[in-house]
């Protein structure tokens, strides 16, 4: 049995850990609530951008539409959106397992894969699985990424697509499956899906023909940026939910251990008192009965 001093030291250490776990949980709850409040305006803006992009894309010629279609002969990019830090349970491990299963299905169909990752903790899980990353970037750790944080990443991804690194880019991220639930999902990001073509004789009146390529490029870039930001935000919200749950379990477990150690300390203390009394009695008997 451990000594009383060792048990007390262990109990004090765990007691100091509980407020830290609770603080991390509180920070995650604040970030989660902030992200929830920011979703309605983001959804409204994303819908406006999507409508504008699809309205213009629907008037493109066959050749113009073909230029925006996925390039089948090129690899498919898989962009994992993981976490920057830990303390969120199996958040990254489940994400990576889901994405690698999807990649295996693509490779069995003869498609080459290029791997990308946002979040250093997610990147480490991928590298531990033997994956070579074409691109990786860090994210904010205990807060929700801002729009400007994702803008440069979106431009990097568009540049990689333009250079032929991959013909299609899919994201693998944890998306909300309920108010307090999330699940890994795979969605297409690049190129954006095109609506059915339509004939629009008034096109040259509303949008001068020379302006169409510039406007289309702008709308497609904004559409990709907003879509990527939504997915990163969904992933960040899921991460905070995972962290809240993990920290709550850890804090509850630490409290149970503190209570268990307190009981063990009390037992050791009582045993020590009993042993001391027995030694005293034995010494007294030895003194009076030589």
Separation of alpha carbons 11 and 8, rounded Å: 5
What is the predicted pLDDT for the residue at 272? 77
At 83, the pLDDT band (50, 70, 90 cuts) reads: very high
**How many residues in the chain?**
290
Tokens of 102: 């999807």
At 126, the pLDDT band (50, 70, 90 cuts) reads: very high
Residue spans per domain, the chain: 4-20+247-285, 28-245
For the chain, give the mean pLDDT: 86
pLDDT: which is higher, 145 or 47: 47
How large is the average pLDDT for residues 87-106? 95
What is the predicted pLDDT for the residue at 261? 86
Q: Kindly provide the residue ranges of all beta strands, DSSP E only, lying in the chain, ordered along the sequence.
A: 76-81, 113-118, 133-137, 168-178, 181-190
At 142, the pLDDT band (50, 70, 90 cuts) reads: low
- The answer to whether 123 and 136 have CB atoms below 8 angstroms apart is yes
Tell me how crowded residue 202 is: count the other CB atoms within 10 A of its CB.
Answer: 8
pLDDT: which is higher, 188 or 286: 188
**Residue 41 scores a pLDDT above 50:** yes
**Residue 141 scores a pLDDT above 80:** no
In order of 20, 115, 117, 128, 140, the CA distances from 131 in angstroms are 34, 7, 11, 7, 23
Tokens of 157: 């991804």
Task: Give me the architecture of the 28-245 domain, per CATH.
Answer: 3-Layer(aba) Sandwich (3.40)
- The answer to whether 220 and 199 have CB atoms below 8 angstroms apart is no
Reduce the DSSP state of residue 184 to 3 states and report it. strand
Q: Which of 128-137, 139-148, 172-181 has the lowest mean pLDDT?
A: 139-148
Separation of alpha carbons 55 and 215, rounded Å: 12
Tell me how crowded residue 32 is: count the other CB atoms within 10 A of its CB.
Answer: 20
Separation of alpha carbons 99 and 89, rounded Å: 18
Q: Which of 101-115, 174-188, 200-214, 271-285 has the lowest mean pLDDT?
A: 200-214
Provide the whole-model pTM.
0.83
**Residue 199 scores a pLDDT above 60:** no
**Residue 47 scores a pLDDT above 80:** yes
Reduce the DSSP state of residue 182 to 3 states and report it. strand
Which residues are registered as beta bridge partners of 235?
Answer: none
Residue in 17, 15, 19, 22 with CA at minimum distance from that of residue 244 = 22
pLDDT: which is higher, 39 or 283: 39
Tokens of 283: 């010494």
């Amino acid at each position: 049995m451990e000594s009383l001093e060792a048990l007390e030291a262990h109990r004090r250490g765990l007691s100091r850990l509980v407020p830290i776990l609770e603080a991390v949980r509180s920070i995650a709850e604040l970030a989660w609530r902030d992200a929830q409040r920011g979703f309605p305006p983001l959804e409204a803006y994303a819908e406006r951008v999507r409508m504008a992009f699809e309205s213009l894309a629907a008037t493109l010629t066959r050749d113009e539409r073909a230029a925006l279609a996925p390039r089948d002969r090129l690899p498919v990019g898989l962009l994992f959106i993981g976490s920057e830090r830990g303390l969120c349970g199996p958040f990254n491990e489940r994400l990576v397992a889901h994405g690698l299963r999807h990649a295996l299905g693509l490779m069995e169909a003869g498609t080459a894969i290029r791997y990308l990752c946002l979040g250093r903790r997610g990147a480490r899980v991928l590298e531990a699985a033997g994956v070579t990353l074409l691109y990786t970037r860090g994210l904010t750790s205990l807060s929700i990424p801002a729009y400007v944080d994702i803008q440069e990443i979106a431009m990097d991804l568009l540049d990689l697509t333009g250079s032929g690194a991959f013909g299609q880019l899919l994201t693998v991220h944890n998306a909300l499956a309920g108010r307090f639930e999330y699940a890994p999902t795979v969605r297409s990001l690049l190129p954006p899906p095109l609506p059915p073509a339509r004939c629009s004789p008034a096109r040259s009146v509303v949008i001068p023909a020379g302006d169409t390529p510039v406007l289309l490029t702008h709308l497609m870039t904004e559409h990709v940026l907003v879509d990527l930001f939504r997915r990163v935000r969904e992933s960040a919200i899921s991460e905070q939910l995972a962290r809240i749950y993990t920290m709550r379990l850890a804090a509850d477990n630490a409290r149970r251990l503190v209570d268990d150690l307190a009981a063990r300390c009390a037992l050791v203390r009582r045993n020590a008192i009993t042993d001391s009394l027995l030694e005293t009695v034995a010494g007294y008997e030895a003194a009076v009965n030589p």
